[in-house]
Amino acid sequence: MAGNARDIRKNDPEKTRENILDVATTEFAEFGLSGGRVDAIAEKTRTSKRMIYYYYGSKEGLYLAVLERAYRKIRALESDLALADMPAETALRQLISSTFDHDEGNPEFVRLVSIENIHHAMHMRRSTEIGELNISVIRTIQEILDRGRREGAFKRNVDAIDLHMLISAFCFFRVSNRYTFGTIFHRNLSEPVIYARHKQMISDAVIAYLAAPESVAA
């Protein structure tokens, strides 16, 4: 079996890299960059520190690769939704639903982003890919907003980045703060009834805000 595993690693380096990233994601999400151990990652992937450093250069390089892949996954998920073929309101609800489900199903992503915020995004700044990746979701939101105004569904002139932040804030908070919030209010945010209610609530709130006319200053 050990020989077979070595053969697989030798013949399928892409699979080896994906396995390393899978294990590193769990390690860094649990212990952060400083607490995560490359030795532990090597042991769990049945590789070696030397191989990991060959692929990623350093522990920090591996951590950054984990962050980049995490953002690639959510952006790829959004690109598969075919939102351009839907009416604006339907498209926006679908995008919100996808974000909501992604954050719920990927708590490691939420922890990684929280950890990187603790570090003031100092590692993320080294990545040219993450910035480019996230342009796509802003472009998608802008296209939905423009289409919604043409269709008459949206009345407000909203900045696409502001709207992205509004959606992300709710979806992210309920995962990042689920333990403290749940302890304080004795509520399991992943309970199916609450989950469905919150998912509907954020969609309804965003659509209602966009559909309301701009307020006129006195």
DSSP string, 132-176: HHHHHHHHHHHHHHHHHHHHTS--S---HHHHHHHHHHHHHHHHH
Mean pLDDT of the chain: 92
pLDDT in tens, 150-180: 999 999 999 999 999 999 999 999 999 999 9
Alpha-carbon gap, residue 24 to 59, rounded angstroms: 10
Residue 142 CA from chain centroid, whole number? 19
Q: What is the 3-state secondary structure (H, E, C) of 49-68?
A: HHHHHHHHCCHHHHHHHHHH
Q: So what's the pLDDT on residue 12?
A: 80
CA trace torsion 82, 193, 106, 99 (10° rounding): 30
Q: So what's the pLDDT on residue 216?
A: 54
Q: So what's the pLDDT on residue 133?
A: 87
> pLDDT exceeding 90 applies to what percent of the chain?
83
Task: Work out the average pLDDT over 190-208.
Answer: 97
Lowest mean pLDDT among 8-12, 27-31, 173-177: 8-12
Q: So what's the pLDDT on residue 38?
A: 96
Task: Work out the average pLDDT over 10-34.
Answer: 91
Alpha-carbon gap, residue 122 to 190, rounded angstroms: 32
Structure tokens given for 127? 């990545």
Q: So what's the pLDDT on residue 10?
A: 56
Alpha-carbon gap, residue 143 to 141, rounded angstroms: 5
pLDDT at 114 over 90: yes
- Say which residue the tokens 């309101």 belong to: 89
